[in-house]
Copies of this chain bind each other. A is one copy, B any other.
Amino acid sequence: MPELRRDPIVGRWVIIATDRAKRPSDLARPAAAPQSGLCPFCPGHEDKTPREVYVTGRAPGAPANGPGWKVRVVPNRFPALKIEGDLDRKAEGIYDLMNGIGAHEVVIETPEHGRHMKDLTEQELTEVLFAFKARILDLRNDLRFRYILLFKNHGALAGASLEHPHAQLIALPVTPRQVQDEIDGARRHFEHRERCIFCDVVAQERKDRSRLVFENEEFLVFAPWAPRSPFETWIMPKRHESNYEAEPKERLGLCAQALRTTLRRLSAALGDPSYNFIVHSNPLRDLPTPSYHWHIEVMPALTQVAGFEWGSGFHINPVPPEEAAEFLRKVVA
């Protein structure tokens, strides 16, 4: 059973994934990803993954866990956290730990091994974003979970170990400190000004336009004021909404258009870079709130986290967001 351990000074949690334990000699960086012939996410290999928990596209009456699907969500075969067991918190001297309870699922975005998320049609990507919502709505019924982190690692430099297009979600028994910091920061702003800081950001970016990349009726795509990495890009609903899973399918369709545009332009500008994206949304047990505003942060993996970043939490970014946005506005995707 993995363990969640808390650093006693800064309160940072770490998952000690003992089941994944490796010998020191195995700790070299992972080798190349398997080719499609061996890919556990390709159609025909459904028995190489745990049984599906969500699927679209399969013909009525067709058996589960066989081919014919369009989006397929399965538990991770090597989960960082385990779904079985009780949440058990205890102390070890001055230290805190708890059982590594959680869910770790993989959202397989398409049956086609070689298609990237950016190559999906708007309709296909909408189905992926809807699958995210469906999984949140299901997993939030499990009262052990406090937060669901939805994210995607694309490319080896962004930590992807399998090539077949997939996103991931991890349901956690605690709200991560980084998420809580964001929620607390937004709440402080609301307490002072009775306004949502993210709505303020949307208003300033629409007025200023120098960091704007794209917008449609419902979503704004822009380079944030203080980006950690070159070409970091945020996708934010213009209308206030704290919870991703509250969005109706029509609005997820417009989100898919914004996300697809972002990924295609980043790919054209930077030559298919590795990237991470993270869905930032309100914690499961918090009520919908006027102070928090869900959004997606896309970070191309172009710079390396080194000693200065580790030690300070500061980031050094050689590309001003205004230059990145101008480039992304003009690039032909």
List residues of A whose CB falls within 8 A of some B CB. Answer: 3, 5-18, 20-22, 24-25, 27-29, 80, 92-95, 149, 151-153, 157-160, 168, 170, 172, 176-179, 181-182, 185-186, 189, 197-198, 200-201, 204, 208, 224-228, 230-231, 269-271, 273, 276-280, 297, 299, 302, 304-308, 310-321, 323-324, 327
Separation of A258 and B189 alpha carbons in the complex (Å)? 46
- Select one of B17, B178, B276 contacting A313, CB under 8 A: B178
A27 with B230, Cβ < 8 A, contacts A16-B320, A168-B307, A312-B176 known: yes
Secondary structure at chain A's binding surface: helix, strand, loop or mixed? mixed
Separation of A189 and B11 alpha carbons in the complex (Å)? 12
Separation of A298 and B313 alpha carbons in the complex (Å)? 16
* A185:B24 contact, CB within 8 angstroms: no
* A149:B302 contact, CB within 8 angstroms: no
Question: Chain B nearest CB: distance from A173 CB in Å?
Answer: 11
Which of chain B's residues have a CB closer than 8 A to the CB of A21? 318-320, 323
State the copy count for this chain.
Answer: 2
- Select one of B7, B92, B276, B312 contacting A172, CB under 8 A: B312
Separation of A21 and B326 alpha carbons in the complex (Å)? 14
Question: Chain B nearest CB: distance from A237 CB in Å?
Answer: 15
12 A-B contacts, Cβ less than 8 Å apart? Answer: A7-B224, A12-B313, A14-B226, A18-B320, A24-B231, A29-B157, A29-B302, A159-B306, A179-B313, A278-B310, A278-B311, A305-B305
